[in-house]
Structure 1
């Protein structure tokens, strides 16, 4: 049975300092964020009632907004309280948490400096982003590329930057794949549409340097976890002609967690020992209080 659409569900959304019924959590059609993408967000997961790296996400929300030229009207501590109170109000232990801030509807034009800044927190129960993780997922090559840092605010988790991700993921799904691998403007490997990517060769993990995409918190956590297990991790420029030289590949992200890959555009990969070790290691870490 399909889940109810988000606009027609029971429950609550924290919105501008208050809890409102989910069906009433609305914005005006002339909201600046809808027309000009002046919105930043965070995607987080709660495990056993505790949001993993919660404060890091709240702090990044503020940093993302600053890069886009506005200030979140609620302090980090207030956002932290709102997230936890909403989880408790919804009665969720394991859940996905979405936090966002955006420019409102007082002005509608490219410039909208006087618009009110709004903020909201929503949460829902969401299982694995990709089902049957250890079977591995299939990626194709995205038709769009990650832009250069001087052409887009790549250090901000800005909603507008995900337009090319949606286009690429839709194209991948239409072609029978789970996701797409995105190159950057130089032709180097960057990431998937909503997750960072890692490769394994001869027991060493290789991952692209995050110079035009976000250095994800799950990415950072998995690098630390791998090194604690004695696995070497190399961050560097990776080129498409290297794909055939790797034996394993996997994605990381708050939604994807750690998800092995079995194919990229016809090239096979085997979800092997290192991928499996990190899948289970990350799961154990997120289930541990105060990790």
Structure 2
């Protein structure tokens, strides 16, 4: 497959659809140097983006957390995403909206005089973890920790927050793993590099309290599905030593969807009935 900079198709950029290869930015773009960028990852199923408006609203929220305002309304972003899917003749696709501080008068840490730009692209993308969706992903345990809310805008989906995720996933892949699980700054179980995490014990579900990391839209969806099934869900701080006692585990995220986990470090989990049922139910829900 060609690199992401060398493909046919259209990308929506600052209000217009342009050729894919022409969707470029200047080398002195502020976001490239100082990470002043926020984004969304979304999936379209049968031509319809799942929980699309919530993603657009979160994009605006993330921008506000980085002290800038996107010059397009939620309604305009929604229309643009539809245009991108139609222009590329996509039915099932991954959709990426990204907003950033562009090149302008400022080229230091401060950038209030620089314009804010917005782009939306889409491409066909299969299972994020490949065949792990069937047999269970293998996770490393990262040496990096999710930072304290006093140090970063932890509830924004901001580019800079993923730096340690990239490092963690590279280290995991070098060990033959699909991903890495991260602890938070206090030592509690937090999440994977780009997905939230759930555990099962004695028929009940346990998931880390999202007080220092993103409360994913897929995470919220799955919690609602579990509660509708009258499965008890505990959102709480989880200690590392508890991993040994959990029977099942799965990841949730727009890209990951619902992916079973078979191993985290030295701990093993079965791809059990509840994990499979939730994965199958999620697949049906997104196509309703």
Q: The TM-score by the shorter chain falls in which range?
A: over 0.9
Counterpart residue number, 1:169: 169
CA distance in 2, matches of 1:193, 1:159: 13
- Deviation string 1:169-194 (CA, Å, 9 cap, x unpaired) is 00000111110000000000000000
CA distance in 2, matches of 1:6, 1:247: 39
CA distance in 1, matches of 2:70, 2:111: 15
Which residues of 2 match residues 251-270 of structure 1 at below 5 A?
Answer: 251-270=251-270
Tell me, what secondary structure is at the counterpart of 1:46? strand
> Offset of 1:134 from its aligned partner?
2.1
Counterpart residue number, 2:215: 215
Counterpart residue number, 1:281: 281
TM-score (norm 2): 0.99
CA distance in 2, matches of 1:206, 1:78: 38
Tell me, what secondary structure is at the counterpart of 1:84? helix
Counterpart residue number, 2:42: 44
Deviant stretches of 4+, over 6 Å: none
Counterpart residue number, 1:149: 149
CA distance in 2, matches of 1:264, 1:176: 12
CA distance in 2, matches of 1:178, 1:7: 25
CA distance in 1, matches of 2:229, 2:9: 41
Counterpart residue number, 1:232: 232
TM-score (norm 1): 0.98
Counterpart residue number, 1:110: 109
CA distance in 2, matches of 1:260, 1:174: 21
CA distance in 1, matches of 2:130, 2:226: 23
> Offset of 1:229 from its aligned partner?
1.2
Tell me, what secondary structure is at the counterpart of 1:69? coil
Which residues of 2 match residues 201-212 of structure 1 at below 5 A?
Answer: 201-212=201-212
- The count of residues paired between Structure 1 and Structure 2 equals 286
RMSD over aligned Cα, in angstroms? 0.5
CA distance in 2, matches of 1:130, 1:231: 26
